Structure 1
Amino acid sequence: MIHIIITSYKEPKSTLKAVQTFLNQLLQAQSPSIKPKTSLKSKNRKTPKDSISLTIPQNQKDFKITVVDPFPEVESFLKRNIRSPLVEFFLDPGEGKAYALNLLMQEQSTGNKEDIFIFTDGDVYCSSNTIEEISKAFKEEKIGCVTAKPVAIDSRNTKYGFWAHVLFKGIHKVRTSLSKQKKFFECSGYLFAIRQGVIYDFPHKASEDSIIPYLFWKKGYRIKYLPNVEVYVKNPGNWKDWLAQKVRNVKGHENLSKIAKDMPRTKSFTNEIIWGGLFALKQPKNLRELNWLIQLYFARLYLYFQAFKEIKRGRRYGDAWRGEAITESTKMFD
Structure 2
Amino acid sequence: MITVLITTYREAATIGLALDAFLPQLPAASELLVICPDAETTAVVHQYAKKFPRVRHVPEPERRGKPAALNLGLQAAQGDIVIFSDGDVVIGDAALAPLLAPFADEKVGAVTGRPFSSSPRATKLGYWSHVLVEGAHQTRLARDATGDFLLCSGYLFAARRSLIQSIPEDALAEDAVISHRIAEQGFRIRYAPDAAVFVKYPDNYADWLRQKVRSTGGYAQDYVRNSPFSMRSAKLEAQQGSLLALKFAQSPRELWWTLLLFVARLHLWLLVFWRVRVLKRPLTTLWQRVESTK
Structure 2 counterpart SS, 1:167: helix
- 1:154-169 equivalent positions in 2, closer than 5 A: 154-169=119-134
**Where do 5+ consecutive residues of structure 2 fail to align?**
none
1:326 corresponds to: 289
2:22 corresponds to: 22
Deviations 1:114-134 (A, max 9, x none): x21000000101112222222
1:189 corresponds to: 154
Identity %: 36
- 1:1-334 equivalent positions in 2, closer than 5 A: 1-26=1-26, 60=28, 62-80=29-47, 83-92=51-60, 93-109=62-78, 115-206=80-171, 207-256=173-222, 261-318=226-283, 320=284, 325-331=288-294
**Where do 5+ consecutive residues of structure 1 fail to align?**
30-59
Q: Normalising by the residue count of structure 2, what TM-score does the alignment of the two structures yield?
A: 0.93
Structure 1 counterpart SS, 2:3: strand
Distance 1:282 1:260 in 2: 30
AA in 2 matched with 1:236: P
In structure 2, relative to structure 1, the CA distance for the partners of 1:260 and 1:159 (3 Å cut) is: closer
Structure 2 counterpart SS, 1:169: helix
TM-fit CA distance, 1:146: 0.3
TM-fit CA distance, 1:295: 0.8
Structure with the larger RCO, 1 or 2 (CA within 8 Å, 6+ apart)? 1
TM-fit CA distance, 1:3: 0.4
Between structure 1 and structure 2, the one with the greater Rg is 1
Distance 1:208 1:108 in 2: 17
Bigger fraction of residues in helix? 2
AA in 2 matched with 1:121: D
TM-fit CA distance, 1:198: 2.6
TM-fit CA distance, 1:304: 1.2
TM-fit CA distance, 1:203: 2.5
Structure 1 counterpart SS, 2:14: helix
In structure 2, relative to structure 1, the CA distance for the partners of 1:263 and 1:72 (3 Å cut) is: farther
1:52 corresponds to: none
Distance 1:17 1:86 in 2: 17
Distance 1:288 1:73 in 2: 42
1:47 corresponds to: none
Distance 1:321 1:87 in 2: 32
In structure 2, relative to structure 1, the CA distance for the partners of 1:294 and 1:260 (3 Å cut) is: closer
TM-fit CA distance, 1:311: 2.5
Distance 1:84 1:262 in 2: 41
TM-fit CA distance, 1:211: 1.2
Structure 2 counterpart SS, 1:98: helix
